[in-house]
Amino acid sequence: MASKSRPAPGAGHVGPLLSARCTGCGKTSEKRTTEIVGDASSGSFQHVCHSCRGVTWWNALAVLEEADSA
């Protein structure tokens, strides 16, 4: 997390697969992220929400799939 370089916005291809809820619209979706603030199963992270049409904060609900590599 030292730089702002990111592979591609929106999709999320790395990190654990999380069930998460958008704080903007309340939508629940599955997201991947490596930038979780707090614990992976209960923390928060920023991700694109298609309903909100932008980056919003998401609250993690559960870890659906562990990351392949750490």
Whether the CB-CB separation of 36 and 61 falls below 8 Å is answered with no
Which is closer to Zn ion, CB of 34 or CB of 56? 56
Interaction between residue 51 and Zn ion (CB under 5 A) = yes
CB of 27 to Zn ion, least distance (A): 5
Whether the CB-CB separation of 17 and 35 falls below 8 Å is answered with no
User: Which residue among 11, 14, 37, 52 contacts Zn ion (CB under 5 A)?
Assistant: 52
Q: Given the rule CB under 5 A, which residues bind Zn ion?
A: 22, 24-25, 49, 51-52
